[in-house]
Amino acid sequence: MGRIVLPPEGNLDGNMGCAFVLDEPNRHRSCGAPRRLASSYCPFHHAICYIASGSRAEFKQLQEVETLASAVGGRRARQATGPSRQFLKRLEQAVRDDS
């Protein structure tokens, strides 16, 4: 990955450079490096924030979202019967033990 050269500290206008927020102790500031064409970010931060359409990374991200949605019963989840009775009994026992 490329090296990022940070601009000098000071007030950065939102239109000057990369909008990626750098989390620094006791304050936050934008990266400020020159932006990638048609992006709010420099090339380095754009690569971190966006997944290319049709890529393996996109496929893996969609699989992860589908798995999480199924686990929590989200809108895209498949119909499930719910947790087993055995699981609910173990959960109830664990809650009692902690009380």
pLDDT in tens, 31-55: 889 999 888 899 999 988 888 889 9
Beta strands in the chain (DSSP E): 21-24, 27-30
Show contacts of 30-39: CB within 8 Å, 24+ apart.
31/4, 31/6, 32/6, 32/7, 33/4, 33/5, 33/6, 33/7
In angstroms, the Cα distances linking 13 to 16, 18, 32 are 5, 10, 9
pTM given for the model: 0.45
Residues 18, 32: contact at Cβ < 8 Å?
yes
Dihedrals phi, psi of 31, to nearest 5 degrees: -60, -55
Which residue stretches of the chain have pLDDT < 50? 1, 10-14
